[in-house]
């Protein structure tokens, strides 16, 4: 029997892994089951955070390397967007005992900024300490994708974002980092998403249902 409670679910993975697609599928399945859920994303999720997102993306398409943000400026913008998002959307929703489904969260910052771009992890953690106030996902799905499937999906995208054009070696490094973060953690599930089919949708919903005690 489902008992209404706050629950925070996050989807993580590299570009083209299908996390945005699967987070939407889970959201609609919960809605059809008459369960109050909120679907959001990072960076973004609120008007102010989306403005910061646009600023970050715009910087990527700047042709001049001299004009690009330093990696710490870049990271601070991500964390500023997260602060707005957590304070104005995630915390209020959890307070209302909603289920929050988020496309990316802190693991993306660790894998892309700390491991991928060599930003000091203690720097990131110290800011998280103040803005997250202990908030952690209750359930995290890490979607693992083959380079072939990921590349195929990225080519189909009508609008590109800043991370769609990195070399495959960068994506491989980031994916390994996601898998290492998820290793041996009870509330993490690593799922193969190269096919991104209905079977995967059902598996995600089944795991979620078990954690929420849905019957």
Write down the pLDDT at residue 195: 82
10/105 Cα distance (integer angstroms): 7
Q: What is the value of pTM for the model shown?
A: 0.90
Does any domain span residue 19?
yes
Asked if residue 134 belongs to a domain, the reply is yes
Q: Which residues contact 47 (CB under 8 A, 6 or more apart)?
A: none
For residue 22, the domain's CATH number is: 3.40.50.300
User: Which pLDDT tens digit goes with each residue over 4-22?
Assistant: 899 999 999 988 888 999 9
Strands (E), 133-214: 139-144, 188-192
Task: State pLDDT tens for residues 74-102.
Answer: 999 999 999 999 999 999 999 999 999 99
Q: Into how many domains does the chain fold?
A: 1
Question: Domain residues for 116?
Answer: 7-212
Nearest to 74 by CA among 109, 102, 121, 50: 109
Q: Looking at residue 63, what is its pLDDT?
A: 62
- Predicted confidence at residue 160, as pLDDT, reads 53
Backbone angles phi, psi at 37, to 5 degrees: -135, 155
Calpha distance 132→174 (Å, rounded): 23
99 bridge partner residues: 7, 37
Q: How far is CA 26 from the centre of its chain?
A: 14
Cβ burial, residue 180 (10 Å; 0-12/13-18/19+): exposed
Residue 43 within a domain: yes
Closest CA to 70 of 24, 123, 107, 148: 123
Please identify every stretch of the chain with a pLDDT value under 70, giving residue numbers as ranges: 1, 59-66, 147, 149-166
Beta-carbon contacts of residue 16 (< 8 Å; ≥ 6 apart): 145, 149, 150, 151, 152, 153, 154
Residue 148 lies in a domain: yes
Burial 112-138 (b: 16+ CB within 10 A, else e): bbbbbeebeeeebeebbeeebeeeebb
C-alpha atoms less than 13 angstroms from C-alpha of 102 in its C-beta half-sphere: 29
Phi-psi region of 189 (alpha: psi -120 to 50; beta: other; left: phi over 0): beta
Residue 33 maps to a domain? yes
User: What pLDDT score was predicted for residue 16?
Assistant: 82
Question: Per the domain annotation, does 2 fall within a domain?
Answer: no
* pLDDT value, residue 151: 63
């Amino acid at each position: 029997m489902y008992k209404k409670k706050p629950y925070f679910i996050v989807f993580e993975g590299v570009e083209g892994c299908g996390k945005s697609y699967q987070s939407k599928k889970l959201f609609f399945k919960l809605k059809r089951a008459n369960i109050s859920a909120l679907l959001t994303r990072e960076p973004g999720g609120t008007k102010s955070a989306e403005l910061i997102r646009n600023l970050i993306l715009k910087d990527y398409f700047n042709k001049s390397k001299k004009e690009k943000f330093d990696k710490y400026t870049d990271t601070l913008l991500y964390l500023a967007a997260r602060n707005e998002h957590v304070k104005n959307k995630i915390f209020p929703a959890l307070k209302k005992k909603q289920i929050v489904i988020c496309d990316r969260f802190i693991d993306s910052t660790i894998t892309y900024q700390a491991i991928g771009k060599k930003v000091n992890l203690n720097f990131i953690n110290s800011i998280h300490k103040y803005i997250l106030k202990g908030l952690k996902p209750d359930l995290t799905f890490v979607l693992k994708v083959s380079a072939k499937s990921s590349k195929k999906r990225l080519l189909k995208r009508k609008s590109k974002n800043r991370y769609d054009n990195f070399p495959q070696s960068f994506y491989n490094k980031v994916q390994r980092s996601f898998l290492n973060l998820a290793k041996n953690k009870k509330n993490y599930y690593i799922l193969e998403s190269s096919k991104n089919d209905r079977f995967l949708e059902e598996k995600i919903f089944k795991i979620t249902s078990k954690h929420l005690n849905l019957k």
